[in-house]
Amino acid sequence: MTSDQEHVHHRVHLVDELRQFSTETEWVEFKNDNHHPQGIGEYISALTNAACLKYKPKAYLLYGIQDKTHEVVGTSFDPYKTKGNQDLLPWITTGLIPNPGFEVFMVDHPGGRVVVFEIDPARGRPVSFYGKSFIRVGSSKTTLKRHPDKEGAIWTRGSDWSAEICKDATLEDLDPEAVAKARSNSLSNIPPRRTRWLSGTISLSLTKLES
């Protein structure tokens, strides 16, 4: 098997693995052939935010797969076409703030052509699309502002050391000055209306650990 054949095989295998997930999986979305540009951007926002909450390294939006049965039906969707006088993907990327990063590729599956958006998770703050953030709740896409608990959780999650697990570490291993600085830096990146909530959460967590 050549390297190109292995590459194709890997992507077909990825599609088949994703098809095994339940329709309630919040970081994977299947679409038959409904590829309205606004909807694509909203789903990327919802999926990247959901992947953050579920600690998933990637989220996926797939076109060419029946939503209920997950049967591969194929799609004529071309992600490289234009939206009006602008290319579709740059238009979507411009609307994502911050841009989580995503890759688009086509898969020549035996059941039909599949278009895959492979999306990185949100880090440290929710991802919005042209000013509005979305989230997956079960199999439904909804605005993130309707779920303040989920929005607050995303603000506390990032790629910094405070999000990592140190095996066998205890409170005695923490440097008080470093903890104070990390807490200050984390709070400085959060809007004022979130700061009081997070500060109280941190204080409560430390109190429980010390008791």
Instruction: Look up residue 80 and give its DSSP letter.
Output: T
Residue 108 burial (C-beta neighbours within 10 Å; 0-12, 13-18, 19+): exposed
Q: Give per-residue pLDDT as tens, 50-109.
A: 999 999 999 999 999 999 999 999 999 999 887 766 799 999 999 999 999 999 999 999
Dist. CA 45–CA 43, nearest whole Å: 5
Model pLDDT for residues 15-33, shown as the tens digit of each residue:
999 999 988 899 999 998 8
Q: Where are the domains of the chain?
A: 3-148, 160-210
Alpha-carbon span 124 to 157, nearest angstrom: 5
Q: What is the pLDDT of residues 144-181, one digit of tens each?
A: 999 999 999 999 986 544 445 566 666 666 666 666 65
- CATH top-level class for 3-148? alpha beta
CA–CA dist 7, 201 (Å, integer): 46
* pLDDT at residue 4 in the model: 72
Position 49 scores a pLDDT of 98
Q: What is the pLDDT of residue 198?
A: 54
